[in-house]
Structure 1
Amino acid sequence: MAQLPGLLLLELALHAAAFLCGIICASALTVAQGEFGGQCILYGSVVYNGTLNLTSSSPVSLCYFVTAISTLAAIFCFLALLYGIYTGCFGEGEPERVWLRGSLALVAVVLFFLLISACILRVGMDALCGSILKSAAAPSCQEAQHRPWVPQYHAEKFYDNLYTAEAAAWVNFFFWCMLLLRLFVECVSKTSSRLSLQRDLTRNSERTPIVGDASPMP
């Protein structure tokens, strides 16, 4: 069994952490939707007449988009984690980087969508909490969890769930930034090594006619 190098262990740890963050974000947002009968409360507005009532909500597809991005990113991290463990333990200790540039581009795309998802959660939560404060139902969005809502809603932990989803999304974004940096450094390192090898081969080929034995004079 090969010994895992330090950089590979770091990459595996980042994949594991990003996997957990993706699962937590998707789960927390799904639970928050369930508290409001499946409605997407991001960018929603409420009114207060003794009880809080959700008067408008975003299209469900908006929450589905955030959940899907987090879930797909988590699946990618889980598969990469399994591949890294298998290759590190039963391979040569370092996964082959045949598709290094392709992986770099893929991580960059995922990172872009994770940023969009995190911003949707942040701005959507601010809009909802702003509506709650405007209704004068509670001094803070967190306190609104303990205020009475209309019977069809079970909003005892809606703020905690949204806050957890948002925090997990930003932490997940940070871990993916680290993964992108890890791949970029490796790509630059391998490119530099390849160029250095080519220069050495060129220098040796130029020296060969000079250093070679001269043919004897007749």
Structure 2
Amino acid sequence: MAQLSGWLLIELALHAAAFLCGIICASALTVTQGEFGGQCILYGSVVYNGTLNLSSSSPVSLCYFVAVISSLAAIFCFLALLYGIYSICFGEGEPEHIWLRGSMVLAAVVLFFLLISACILRVGMDSFCASVLKSAAASSCQEAQHRPWVPPYQAGRFYDNLYTAEAAAWVNFFFWCMLLLRLFVECVSKTPSRLSPRSDQPWNAERTPIIG
């Protein structure tokens, strides 16, 4: 079994936390869609006439995009977590420099899409809540959860679910920033120096008599 280091434990903890955040974000958003009959309420609008009704919604693919990105990031973290546990148990060597650079590129791509997903959740939720307030159905978006909705909508916890999805998305983005920083530090530490004193000494030894 390989000897545990502080950096390895931190990396495993970050992968585990990012995995949980990705699952929570995707699950909360999927539950919200289920409350509205599979429709995506991000950037949607409502009307109020004694009961709340969803007058417009976004394409379902928008919510699918956020859920899929969160799920793929969670799967990647889960696989990385399994690989880290496998390396600890069987004592494999440290990853090569080229694999570290590849992991950095992949982490940067995932981080970019996570940022887009978090912004979609933030702006889409604000747009929907602004429509709720404009309809004068409630004084806050959270209070609108307790207002009656036109069947078959069962939106008793739509605000809580959206808030949970958004919070999980931003926390997940933070964890991936830490993972990318961790990979960058490890990659820099493994980069060989171009100007090595030992390799420069023979060249100086041959050059000195010629100059003299």
- 1:9-45 superposed Cα distances (whole Å, 9 cap, x missing partner): 1111000000000000000000000000000000000
Offset of residue 94 of structure 1: 4.1
Distance of 1:91 and 1:201 partners within structure 2: 32
After superposition, where does 1:41-190 map in structure 2 within 5 Å? 41-92=41-92, 94-190=94-190
SS of the residue aligned with 1:155?
A: coil
- Distance in structure 2 (CA, Å) of the matches to 1:188 and 1:182: 10
- How far has the Cα of 1:7 moved from its partner? 0.6
Residue identity matched to 2:111? L
Normalised to the residue count of structure 2, the TM-score between the two structures is 0.93
In the aligned structure 2, how far is the partner of 1:202 from the partner of 1:96? Answer: 23
Measured after TM superposition, the shift of residue 201 of structure 1 is: 3.0
Paired residue type of 2:166:
E
- Extract unaligned runs of 5+ from structure 2: 208-212
Q: Distance in 2 between matches of 1:157 and 1:46?
A: 16
Counterpart Cα distance in 2 of 1:95 and 1:206? 33
Pairwise CA distance, 1:110:
0.3
Q: Which has the larger radius of gyration?
A: 1
SS of 2:31 mapped into structure 1: helix
Distance 1:97 1:32 in 2: 43
> Equivalent residue of 1:54, what SS?
strand
2:32 is equivalent to residue 32 of structure 1: yes
Q: Residue type matched to 1:195 in 2? A: S
Q: 2:210 matched to which residue of 1?
A: none
In structure 2, distance between residues paired with 1:20 and 1:200? 47
| Unaligned residue ranges in structure 1 (runs of 5+) | 211-218
Residue type matched to 1:206 in 2? Answer: W
Moved more, 172-181 or 83-92: 83-92
Deviation per CA, 1:30-67: give whole Å up to 9, x if none.
00000000000000000000000000000000000000
**Residues 111-163 of structure 1, C-alpha deviation per residue, up to 9 Å, x if partnerless?**
00000000000000000000000000000000000001002100000000000
**1:189 offset after TM fit, Å?**
1.5
1:213 is aligned to none
**How well do the aligned residues superpose, as a CA RMSD in angstroms?**
1.7
Task: State the shift of 1:203 in Å.
Answer: 2.8
How many pairs does the alignment contain? 208
Contact 1:28 1:162 in 2 (8 A): yes
Structure-1 separation of matches of 2:10 and 2:198? 34
Q: Please report the TM-score for the alignment, with normalisation by the length of structure 1.
A: 0.91
